[in-house]
Chains A and B, each alone.
Chain A
Amino acid sequence: MKILIELFITFFKTGLFTFGGGYAMLPILKDEVVTKHKWANEDELLNYFSIGQCTPGIIAVNVATFCGYKLKKITGALTATFALVLPSLIIITLIASILSHFMENEYVVHTMKGIRIGVAAVLLKIVFDLGKRVYKKSHSKKTDIAVFLFAVLAIVILKISSVTVIFLAFLAGLAELYVERAKK
């Protein structure tokens, strides 16, 4: 029961402080799930994102379900997911029903602009941390750097969908594994 309450609090907090898409919750999840509670390690968390990107549905929900299920099976999955969506349900319902001019309030606008810079800063930091970690643990640094550079090019310039990029990375990994086996 204690773990369920902790799961609820963690994912409620994550839902509350995720501004933007699912990836914006990665820094918070790393703090909470990996560093604080040690429910999963960084590799597992990254795997949740890569799989969550390719399976149907919202990435944030997919990641919450993964973490919850790992800890407490189906009860955990439901608790984490419910906790993640609860802040959205409350805030959006309030805005849609009574606070229709909330987003135009000048104080809200200033705060939101600041918050976005904060999100950019924590994301920038996590990109560096993750990049360093993935590079250090890499089995084949050349392939991984090539995949990373290709992925950046594909997403930012060629506008290829994220799902396709993950799939191409999968093919690269498969090819590499095959070449390695053939050498042996």
Chain B
Amino acid sequence: MTMLTVENLCVWFGGGRDRVDAVRQASFHVERGASFGLVGESGSGKSTILRAIMGLAPNWSGAISVDDQPVTKKREKAFYKTVQMVFQDPYASLHPRHSVDQVLGETLHLHGFRDIDARVVKLLDDVGLGGKFRFRYPHQLSGGQRQRVAIARALAPEPSILLLDEPTSALDVSVQAEILNLLTDLRSEQKLTYVMVSHDLSVVGHMCEQLAVMKDGEIVEIMDVETLRTAQARHAYSQELLAASI
């Protein structure tokens, strides 16, 4: 059952002579409950695809549908209850003057939940942070803790799809392991669908079942993780990427 379909997606910045095509004719689909990876180097367009899905890219063409419903030009509230995003830099994704409680409370409030207090407690619990973190400010949290709060915020509206933009690249190796484990647990507990962007093939190999390799805005190959592991990638660029990562 397909959860997310992207067809012939083009994203560009600027216009006329200054137009830069960040994503060119990208197509892929993700089954419900699956975890799909997008890999490539910087500038390949992988993060731009995520932003385009979320509605953060101003100029795009093509078709995006979530749960068989095509998305509208301006995303509706209902969309944000289904699809949420976790950003790359935990140091930049939390408002410096808002406490954890404010961040989560505001999100819950915006989505119309009433039992905010109980939900905040549960969310913090789900991401492995205890109640004592509730009233802390971002500068009092470590990178891993901030990322957990960002994940809690993304989970607050009870979405079905989580878009993860390099969620662990800014974190230390040991913290990365904790966050990846957390994401694995959450996915099975809450039956989520993931689309994960990373430049690190081993992270994608660990977290995803299928992945798309991107170069210069285009998807050059879509493969299973088994193909990746056994180094049977077909496209020359995929092989290059693989060789450089080992």
Co-complex (A, B): no
Q: Which residues of A are interface residues toward B (Cβ below 8 A)?
A: none
Q: Residues of B with Cβ closer than 8 Å to A?
A: none
